[in-house]
A and B are shown apart, each in its own frame.
Chain A
Amino acid sequence: MNSGVITAMNIRTLGRHFRESGKNLSRNGWMTFASISAVTVTLLLVGVFFVIMMNLNNFASNIEKDVEIRAHLDPAASQQDIELMETEIKQMPEVDTVVFSPKEKELTNLIKDLGEDGQAFRPFEQDNPLNDVYIIKTKTPKDVIKTAKKIETFNYIQQVKYGQGYVEKLFDVVETARNIGVVLILGLLFTAMFLISNTIKITIMARRNEIEIMRLVGATNSFIRWPFFLEGMWLGVLGAVLPIILIGVSYHYFYRLAAPKIDIKFVELLPFTPFIYQISSIMLLLGALIGVWGSLMSVRKFLKI
């Protein structure tokens, strides 16, 4: 059994395979065109979907990142207690940053945030009723709830707030949206793989004679496979070119037009670079992989391995 697709060969033979794969593409002109078109259409779909999904994911991450825990300190706590607690919180594995916000700052923020209405709180500057607060961010947004519950049990913590109720719902929605996205992308990828490999299969079916003759004159399976392997790769790569250009250009203009107009907190588009390079590499790789896979699967049938 010849298990390896790629076996040792000399440079001349490799060159021959490259030439052969190129010749085959031009000889089977219409079939090549059909296969490349199939790759182009499906990769365009996958690419557009990727762009949308990754942006949505970015929004979600921005929102999640904004979730913080506010731990209100008991006014009775001494300076020493406060410092001790800070070290204790910092030592928790889930915690990323801890910022101490004294009650004076809290009041200034409150007055500022409320604008005109905030002036009403000015008198409290003399006798501040607010607490000192720890603002805690976790390494992963999901740990917020768990961490908050732990901190609540600490001494001298009066109250812990993280948007109870609201945050749980938010996480649920984001989680569901992400799962749906992953399922859709996987489904689309599977469709793409079968569509492309079927088109390639038809191309190769038309050339079964060629494979039969190769076997007859003593070509090993790996020798037969090589040009097909390369052909599949070309088909995938060539098919990826148009979607990459289309998506790149449209995203460029879309970003220039839309990004300055979006004025909603958390909602911002992923910047053109490096995002578009990532998407392009993914599509190129995907095209090549699907092309090679489709090609090798189809040849396999005629090799009687």
Chain B
Amino acid sequence: MIEMSEVSKTYPNGVVAVSNINVKIKQGEFVYVVGPSGAGKSTFIKMMYREEKPTKGNILVNGISLPKLRNSKVPIFRRNMGVVFQDFKLLPNLTVFENVAFAMEVIETHPKEIKRRVMEVLELVGLKHKARMLPTELSGGEQQRVSIARSIVNSPKVVIADEPTGNLDPETSWEIMNIFEEIHNRGTTVVMATHNKDIVNNLTHRVIAIENGKIVRDEQRGDYGYEY
């Protein structure tokens, strides 16, 4: 599914974000990526959806070699994955329905199918009744649920999340995690960078810990392992 071999990334300003990373993530796995701030988690995650290119090594996602992937092919590649962010990245002028539908319009899905499928995923995240609202009229947790709905509307094989609960209170965070768990149970691979100790320790999955750009721990049923 996702395979990194000897991957290093040095930014143009000389900062070494990750160095010599080797990792394999199988289809259907749920993986937490943990580590202190600035350890390289974000770069690690960004390389998976080809927002960043490694300076060395190779990354295979769904059999596609990302360093070799041309810029113009990146959008097509991303259609097979969902991405969720800490700051939701919703379009403020579009309603909840339109925000989710957008990901399907882009790949020129038939309007009837868009309507059916969007309502289906909105139901999954529990926001069917708020379909006509604007993101600004929703709470943080609800906005994050919209962005999750958008990430899975095209039924991707993998969902990548960069601190999806970073802006949310503990209770709401658990609601969000339950949705991710549901997505995972349906067979989707989930890779999530997180700082949420409570969640990692209680909803146990594989944990990859990154420090100073290196994988220092990789446990099948791990815990958070940090005090903060």
Residues of A within 8 A of B (CB): 1-2, 9-10, 12-13, 16, 27, 209-210, 212-221, 223, 304-305
Name the CB-closest residue of A to B89. Answer: A213
Asked if A217 meets B103 with Cβ closer than 8 Å, knowing A10-B108, A210-B91, the reply is yes
Of the residues B70, B75, B111, contact of A1 by C-beta under 8 Å: B70
Task: Knowing that A1-B72, A214-B106 touch, tell me 8 more A-B residue pairs with CB under 8 angstroms.
Answer: A9-B108, A12-B108, A12-B111, A216-B49, A217-B79, A220-B76, A221-B75, A305-B72
Which residues of chain B are near A217, meaning CB under 8 Å? Answer: 78-79, 102-103, 106, 150
Q: In whole angstroms, how far apart are the Cα atoms of A42 and B30 in the complex?
A: 58
Smallest distance from the beta carbon of B134 to chain A beta carbons, Å? 12
Name the CB-closest residue of B to A23. Answer: B93
B105 CB-CB contact with A under 8 Å: yes
Q: A212 near B103 (CB under 8 angstroms)?
A: no
Q: A221 near B89 (CB under 8 angstroms)?
A: no
In the A-B complex, list the 7 residue pairs whose CB atoms are closest, starting with the nearest.
A218-B79, A217-B103, A219-B106, A2-B72, A218-B78, A218-B75, A220-B75
Q: B76 near A212 (CB under 8 angstroms)?
A: no
Q: B83 near A218 (CB under 8 angstroms)?
A: no
Q: How large is the interface on B (under 10, 10 to 19, 20 to 34, 35 or more residues)?
A: 20 to 34
User: Digit string of B83-94 for contact with A (CB within 8 Å is 1, else 0)?
Assistant: 100000111010
Which residues of chain A are near B89, meaning CB under 8 Å? Answer: 209, 212-213, 216
Within 8 A of A (CB), among B116-133: none
B23 CB-CB contact with A under 8 Å: no
Q: In whole angstroms, how far apart are the Cα atoms of A214 and B74 in the complex?
A: 12
Q: A215 near B75 (CB under 8 angstroms)?
A: yes
Which residues of chain B are near A220, meaning CB under 8 Å? Answer: 72, 75-76
Q: In whole angstroms, how far apart are the Cα atoms of A215 and B83 in the complex?
A: 11
Q: A213 near B91 (CB under 8 angstroms)?
A: yes
Q: In whole angstroms, how far apart are the Cα atoms of A238 and B81 in the complex?
A: 40
Q: B106 near A218 (CB under 8 angstroms)?
A: yes
Q: In whole angstroms, how far apart are the Cα atoms of A220 and B71 in the complex?
A: 10
CB pairs A–B below 8 angstroms (16 shown): A9-B108, A12-B111, A13-B108, A16-B105, A214-B106, A215-B74, A216-B78, A217-B79, A217-B102, A217-B106, A218-B78, A218-B154, A219-B106, A220-B75, A221-B72, A304-B71
